[in-house]
Amino acid sequence: EGSEAGPSHARRLLEGEGVTVSFEVVPAAQLDIDDAIEREDTMFMNVTVRRSVNLFEPCSVMWATSDGNGSATAIEGVDFAVASGTVVFPAYESTALLVIEVFAGTGYSETDKIFFVTLGTAVNGTVQDAQALITIQNVQAPPPPAPTS
């Protein structure tokens, strides 16, 4: 007879002894990241990562900034700092804050600039919303009109 292991084997053994056993499967934490918008002159962008469903066990998730392979209008190292890391959620914590440096514009731009923060591999969790759209609001005044003679 082969060796058995796991909840179903334990249940059969204990129920055979007249003991009622129930097992509850605790689902993995669900992880999401919020979009964010901030003025370019604030120097730092706050991005919130949220955890729901299972708050009882610690979990972690990797993250990184990117310009979306050209789909963003902000440029890594020019408009925002290249950054990455791991968010660690201790038991019972439901939010974590990422702080990403943004650089003030050097001239007038008619449009806001965007980039992304993406969640990657999670431990004791499942990523639901993996990408945040980060908007750096332009605050530079347009240049004055050219003088007319």
Report the pLDDT value the prediction gives residue 66, as an integer from 0 to 100.
92
Whether 95 shows a pLDDT value over 90: the answer reads yes
Residues 116, 91: contact at Cβ < 8 Å? no
pLDDT tier for residue 6 given thresholds of 50, 70 and 90: very low
Tokens of 97: 């804050």
| Tens-place pLDDT, residues 31-48 | 999 999 998 888 899 999
d(CA 79, CA 113): 8
Task: Return d(Cα 97, Cα 118) in angstroms, integer.
Answer: 14
What percent of the chain is predicted at pLDDT more than 70? Answer: 75
> Which 3 state secondary structure label does DSSP give 89?
strand
For the chain, what is the mean pLDDT? 84
pLDDT tens sequence across 97-137 = 999 999 876 666 667 889 999 999 999 999 999 999 999 88
Q: What pLDDT is stored for residue 145 in this prediction?
A: 75
What strands, in cross-sheet order, belong to the sheet with 131-137? 36-39, 131-137, 113-123, 59-66, 84-89
